[in-house]
Amino acid sequence: MRRLFQAGILSAAMVSMAPLLSLDRAMAAGFTADQRAEIIDIVREALKRDPTILREAIAAVQADETAREQAVTKAALASTKDRLIDPADPVGGNPRGDVTIVEFFDVRCGYCRRLEPTMVQFMSQDRNVRRIYKDLPILGPGSVLGAKALLAAQKQNAYEKLREALFKAPPDVTKASIEAEVKKLGLDWARLSRDMDDPLIQARIDANLGLAQALGIQGTPAMVIGDELVPGAVGLSELKRAVAEARAAKK
């Protein structure tokens, strides 16, 4: 019991010790200068007796912060549920899958390229997952060109084909490199080039950017799987876990 009390005191003290650089901030937290000094003395004495208390207190603070972040993410997912999937979005995998992965990516993103083989492996193993692509060009003009080209290729039923080709090509995407890949695939380059300038394509990109901002997405790749936001180039086991939990939640 005493140990729990000490950990609680230390947790409170850690909150108050953050303002050590400013007495005004400490006072604003509800402590007088004498109370603050007394708390610091308690903390120092407790740490001398048992340094592991600090680790426990830090773990408690981190767990609390994680819980708060998860609550914010869940609220964001709930508020954007109606616009998370657009009927115009490119679709991969099983269009009637019982679980949907909404994937935000940038065609030039190194981490997105690292994730792709894992996604291909996972999708080959689980045939009951729908994959929704959200082009999120955040790495400069080349990314914007790539996103526009992909969405233009969708009009020729070749979104995934061009996406695969661009992912295998060097990340320095230019109009010339896009043209080369488009012609290799036998697509109509003149039509695709015109479609890239379609205002509706820019509007879709803008919508993706706005949605990502609303979800608090900080970079690519990022996936929404069920009620969970999964950031980064995760491994196969993490993908399986997230999909399994989303599937179980539906039962």
Q: What is the pLDDT along the chain (251 residues), one digit of tens a residue?
A: 334 334 444 444 444 444 334 434 544 456 788 887 887 878 787 777 877 866 776 776 666 665 566 556 677 777 888 889 999 999 999 999 999 999 999 999 999 999 999 999 999 999 999 999 999 999 999 999 999 999 999 999 999 999 999 999 999 999 999 999 999 999 999 999 999 999 999 999 999 999 999 999 999 999 999 999 999 999 999 999 999 999 999 88
Last residue of a domain, one of 44, 71, 98: 71
46 inside domain = yes
Residue 20: predicted pLDDT = 38
CATH for 209: 3.40.30.10
Query: What is the model's pLDDT at position 68?
Result: 63
Residues paired with 16 in a beta bridge: none
What confidence score (pLDDT) does residue 251 get? Answer: 81
How far apart CA 167 and CA 92 sit, in angstroms, is 16
Residue 77 lies inside a defined structural domain of this protein:
no
Same-domain status, 55 and 117: no
What is the rounded CA–CA span in Å between residue 7 and residue 29?
Answer: 19
Q: According to the model, what pLDDT value does residue 73 have? A: 66
What is the pTM for the complete model shown? 0.74
DSSP at 11: H
Report the domain count for the chain.
2
Q: Are residues 14 and 117 in the same domain?
A: no
Alpha helix locations (H) across 19-109? 23-28, 33-49, 52-79
The verdict on 104 and 48 lying in the same domain is no
Range of the domain at 104: 82-249
Mark whether 161 and 213 lie in a shared domain.
yes
Query: Whole-angstrom distance between the N-terminal and C-terminal Cα of the chain?
Result: 41
**Would residue 198 count as lying in a domain?**
yes
According to the model, what pLDDT value does residue 70 have?
59
- Both 237 and 124 in one domain: the answer is yes
Q: Could you tell me the two tokens for 48? A: 């001398």
Q: Which residue in 73, 109, 90, 95 sits closest to 224, CA to CA? A: 73
Judge if 66 and 89 occupy the same domain. no
